[in-house]
Amino acid sequence: MLTPTQKQTAQSIINLFETGSVLGDYSSVTVIPGDTGHLTFGRSQTTLASGNLLDLLQRYCSNHGARFADRLSPWLPRFEAIDLSLDNELRLHNLLRATADDPVMRETQDVFFDEVYWQTAARIAANLGVTSALGTAVVYDSTIQGSWKALRDRTIAQSGSLNTLGEKAWITAYVSTRHDWLATHPRSDLRKTAYRMEAFQRLIDQGYWGLELPLVVRGAEISSSTLSATPSGCYDGPQPGTRNIALQTPLARGLDVRLVQLGLSEQGVAIKADGVFGQTSANLLKQFQASSGLPATGVADATLISRLVG
């Protein structure tokens, strides 16, 4: 059994692979050309095509404390139908980003990804005879990215079983086999992910089988400090209406910015609700003000914020 810290460290490595953040990007919305999963969302990037994204959103919407349940629920039938046109629904994408500011969504994601991915990977690893934190992280990564069984069987055919080689030698062989598969894959998006195995190989070379902290993976620090930090891209404040929002230095960031951007998006403005009020947000706000018969100041005051946020 891994310790809670080893488990969190293993998960953080895959978070870095998936979203570039140690704690994961709970607001991440991506659509990669050629990706059979289509629209993906969340800390560990669950997908529309697999049906897992529907499961996550249903769990969230069924929680009576979910802030965005009423807005998100009307979209669920299209998720259930695996409507691939959701890849291009920018208003939906902004709504998904905004849900990451809700602690209920962050907790829902944590529970969901633990049940669907981590526990599955932990069982697979245990049944195979993998007991190390690093070996379990490798299995978890393949469970997230896919094709674990095929590459497991290829490794056994080419190098031998785990019982024959021992865990460290077998995991090393698996990482090499998977690296070659990724690096030569016909899909360009998968070829670009060979770095995942290269990162694992460096940890193997350094002997970090217990994933002892601190670690540096792909230039990012994994330590007790970073593991206890607030997830990047999530905002708990300021509350809407407590300040005017305008272009400034440093740029205004926060929950109020995200909700104003979401409100503009729901009015048909092609804006990204990333919670950062930059030049593009200011220009799009001016255009909205002008089209609404308001002074085109690019400043969202309390009155306009109330109108957009509700």
Domain ranges for the chain: 4-227, 252-309
Question: Does residue 66 register a pLDDT over 90?
Answer: yes
Residue 34: what pLDDT? 85
> What is the rounded average pLDDT for all residues in the chain?
96
pLDDT of residue 19: 83
Mean pLDDT lowest for which of 13-22, 58-67, 174-183, 237-246? Answer: 13-22
pTM of the prediction?
0.81
Rounded mean pLDDT of 261-267?
A: 97
Gyration radius of the chain's alpha carbons: 22
Q: What is the pLDDT of residue 53?
A: 97
Give the per-residue pLDDT at 230: 84
Sign of the dihedral through C-alpha 198, 203, 205, 206: positive
User: Residue 232: is its pLDDT beyond 90?
Assistant: no
Residue 94, judged by CB atoms within 10 A of its CB (0-12, 13-18, 19+), counts as buried
Token pair of 39 as six digits: 């629209």
Q: What is the pLDDT confidence band of residue 95, given thresholds at 50, 70 and 90?
A: very high
Tens digits of residue pLDDT in 266-285: 999 999 999 999 999 999 99
Rounded-to-integer distance, Cα 205 and Cα 202, Å: 5
Query: Residue 109 above 90 pLDDT?
Result: yes
Which residues contact residue 265 at a Cβ distance below 8 angstroms, ignoring those fewer than 6 apart? 90, 91, 94, 95, 271, 273
Q: Write out the CATH class of domain 252-309.
A: mainly alpha
Neighbours of 18 (CB within 10 A): 22
For 292-301, write each residue's pLDDT tens digit: 999 999 999 9
**Predicted pLDDT of residue 167:** 98
Right CATH for 4-227 from 1.20.141.10, 3.40.50.261, 1.10.1330.10, 1.10.606.20: 1.20.141.10
Residue 200's CB is within 10 A of a number of other CB atoms, namely 26
162-216, pLDDT tens digit by residue?
999 999 999 999 999 999 999 999 999 999 999 999 999 999 999 999 999 999 9
- What does the block give as tokens for 134? 């690093």
